[in-house]
Amino acid sequence: MAALLLLLLPIAATYGASTRGGILATSTTNTTNTTNTTMRKIVATGPFGGGGGSEEWSDGELAAAEGGLTAIRVTTLEASGWRLVQSIQAKYGHKWGEQHGSDGEEETFKLHGAHIIVVQLWSGDFIDGIEFITDQGDVFGPYGGTGGQVEVSSVPGCLLAHLSGTSGELLDSLTLHWIC
């Protein structure tokens, strides 16, 4: 795992936003704390995966209302020798967002104050597999399989803020939103 982290961090820094997909959009939000006001921008990378899915979704409003990512739950499906990500669900602050996809074999990880800085995905028509790496060197995953095209997404100096994508019975596509 540590060797994978050492391998992925330079790749993410070299490619910036992603090895595919690139930066979709940026937006600026005002963030106020008790001592000053700063401008923070949101950078989206992706979409990763296929174009299917009957439901288009975003956790952006929940993340803005509840705070940063604190946990992620991934469910997987194994069928005909293939392993896929069936759904993803994120917790922002103390509140879980909706499950995007359907029930399957479930794994949950908590961030305990860490922040996700690199996401590695395997995808084709769906999200086959996903792995998360934090600023503290923790590696969560890979969840699902390692079929399809491998892609690494990271935006230097930014943290994963929220998720959006499309889903039906499976997680069809995923877009990553980073706060800088």
Residue 148 sits in a domain whose CATH number is 2.100.10.30
Chain mean pLDDT for the chain: 83
Strands (E), the chain: 23-32, 37-49, 55-58, 69-79, 82-92, 95-96, 100-101, 105-110, 116-123, 127-134, 139-144, 149-153, 159-167, 171-179
In this predicted structure, which of 10-14, 97-101, 152-156 has the lowest mean pLDDT?
A: 10-14
pLDDT at 78 over 50: yes
Query: pLDDT band at 40, cuts 50/70/90?
Result: confident
Q: Is the separation of the CB atoms in 73 and 163 below 8 Å?
A: no
pLDDT at 4 over 60: no
What is the pTM assigned to this prediction?
Answer: 0.81
pLDDT score of 53: 80
Q: Is the separation of the CB atoms in 83 and 144 below 8 Å?
A: yes
Query: Stretch 100-129: mean pLDDT, rounded?
Result: 96
Domain count, the chain: 1
Q: Is the separation of the CB atoms in 154 and 27 below 8 Å?
A: no
Q: Please list, residue by residue across 137-165, b when 16 or more beta carbons sit within 10 angstroms of its beta carbon and e when fewer do.
A: eebbbbbbbebbebbbbbbeebbbbbbbb
The whole domain housing 169 covers: 2-179
Query: pLDDT band at 38, cuts 50/70/90?
Result: low
